[in-house]
């Protein structure tokens, strides 16, 4: 089975949220074979298998059957402010969904998300590849609820799902329906969050009006004018998602490639430079996490093979990744 990863900063949020539910963090971490020292790291990755064990342990230890689901509803998406800016620029819901997919993969890899429109309803079809392969109820509930909450955050309190569809037969679907305030139906042909067709016509500016963003964070809003900074910040989730072409980025912002190139040139940079800088920063962050092999890092950064990553890293830092890691660790 492919190794799917989960962001360590997001793991810290998960543990904090579970503790707020009255659970013992030390017992949960021990049950999942997770070292408490990992929670002090500001970057890095952990196997989703361990996160799944953590969620399962939480559901078993809790007197409530849905500790994992409540955790998913409470867990914020990383870089929510940057996501708001990116979504604000999106011309339609489909583009917003693709941007959201990239951000979700940055937090928890292996998330597919697509939009399907019908006569009266819209379906956000999703696949949580790791949770599906493992058939882990607790992990699936947590990730589903996190996705559900993200939609609520995007569209605001007026948004309502009409149904949630799940492919597998899950325990506690009745309680989950009550928690989400909409019917949850299992044994469906697909996983999907279903909502009204009227939401298909919203634009990013309607979801996140500029005035609302200004009130939330004037500093964040200022970045709308700094296209190079904005692109640099959204590149990590795009790198995780494996879709870093300039054509894709231009489409996300609703502009032609030449317009994007011209605006970046006016800023004294280029898309290839921003992409390389993002990969350099991510490479250093990954190398600090000694659990990741060079091959794993190469895969996460979108290189076709480790040898290409090693050559690129040596060009950037005049050292191989292993040499850099040893010097950074002091041995």
**Cα separation of 270 and 267, whole Å?**
8
Please check whether residues 284 and 327 belong to one and the same domain. Answer: yes
pLDDT at 43: 65
Q: What is the pTM of this model?
A: 0.68
Q: What residues of the chain score a pLDDT lower than 70?
A: 1-4, 42-44, 76-90, 105-109, 131-135, 203-226, 241, 253-254, 289-290, 329-331
Please check whether residues 195 and 256 belong to one and the same domain. Answer: no
Please check whether residues 121 and 157 belong to one and the same domain. Answer: yes
Report if residue 321 sits inside a domain.
yes
Please check whether residues 298 and 202 belong to one and the same domain. Answer: no
Residue 200: burial class (beta carbons within 10 Å; 0-12, 13-18, 19+): middle
pLDDT at 88: 62
pLDDT at 179: 94
For 157-176, how does the pLDDT look when each residue is reduced to its tens digit (9 = 90+)? 788 899 999 988 888 899 99
pLDDT at 109: 66
Q: Are 297 and 286 in contact (CB under 8 A)?
A: yes
Report if residue 62 sits inside a domain.
yes
- The CB density around residue 140, as the number of other CB atoms within 10 Å, is 25
Please check whether residues 126 and 200 belong to one and the same domain. Answer: yes
Pairing of strands 192-196, 5-7: unpaired
Report if residue 127 sits inside a domain.
yes
Report if residue 302 sits inside a domain.
yes
Please check whether residues 139 and 56 belong to one and the same domain. Answer: no
Please check whether residues 275 and 303 belong to one and the same domain. Answer: yes
Q: Show the domain range for 289.
A: 226-331
Please check whether residues 330 and 230 belong to one and the same domain. Answer: yes
- The CB density around residue 186, as the number of other CB atoms within 10 Å, is 15
Task: State the total domains in the chain.
Answer: 3
Report if residue 151 sits inside a domain.
yes
Report if residue 123 sits inside a domain.
yes
Please check whether residues 55 and 116 belong to one and the same domain. Answer: no
pLDDT at 204: 65
Half-sphere exposure of 204 (CA within 13 A, CB side): 21
Please check whether residues 295 and 202 belong to one and the same domain. Answer: no
- The dihedral over CA atoms of 301, 305, 308, 314, expressed in degrees to the nearest 10, equals 70
State phi, psi for 90 to the nearest 5 degrees. Answer: -75, 135
């Amino acid at each position: 089975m492919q190794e799917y990863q989960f962001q360590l900063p997001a793991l810290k949020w998960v543990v904090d949220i579970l503790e707020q539910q009255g659970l013992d963090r030390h017992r949960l971490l021990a049950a999942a074979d997770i070292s408490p020292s990992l929670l002090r790291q500001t970057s890095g990755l952990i196997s989703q298998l361990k996160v799944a064990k953590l969620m399962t342990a939480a559901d078993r230890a809790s007197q409530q059957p849905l500790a994992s689901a409540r955790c998913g509803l409470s867990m914020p998406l990383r870089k929510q402010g940057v996501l708001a800016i990116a979504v604000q620029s999106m011309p339609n819901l489909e583009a917003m969904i693709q941007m959201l997919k990239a951000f979700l993969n940055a937090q928890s890899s292996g998330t597919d998300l697509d939009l399907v429109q019908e006569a009266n309803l819209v379906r956000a079809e999703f696949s949580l590849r790791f949770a599906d392969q493992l058939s882990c109820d607790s992990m699936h509930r947590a990730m589903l609820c996190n996705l559900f909450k993200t939609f609520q955050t995007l569209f605001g309190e007026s948004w309502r799902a009409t149904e949630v569809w799940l492919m597998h037969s899950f325990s506690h679907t009745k309680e989950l329906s009550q928690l989400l305030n909409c019917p949850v139906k299992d044994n469906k042909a697909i996983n999907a969050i279903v909502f009204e067709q009227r939401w298909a016509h919203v634009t990013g500016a309607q979801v996140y009006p500029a005035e609302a963003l200004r009130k939330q964070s004037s500093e964040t809003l200022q970045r709308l004018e700094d296209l190079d900074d904005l692109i640099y910040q959204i590149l990590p989730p795009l790198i995780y998602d494996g879709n870093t072409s300039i054509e894709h980025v231009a489409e996300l912002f609703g502009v032609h490639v030449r317009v994007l190139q011209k605006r970046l040139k006016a800023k004294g940079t280029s898309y290839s430079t921003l992409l390389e800088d993002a990969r350099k920063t991510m490479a250093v962050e990954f190398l600090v996490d000694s659990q990741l092999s060079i091959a794993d890092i190469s895969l996460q950064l979108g290189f076709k093979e480790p040898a290409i990553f090693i050559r690129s890293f040596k060009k950037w830092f005049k050292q191989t990744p292993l040499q850099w890691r040893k010097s950074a660790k002091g041995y």
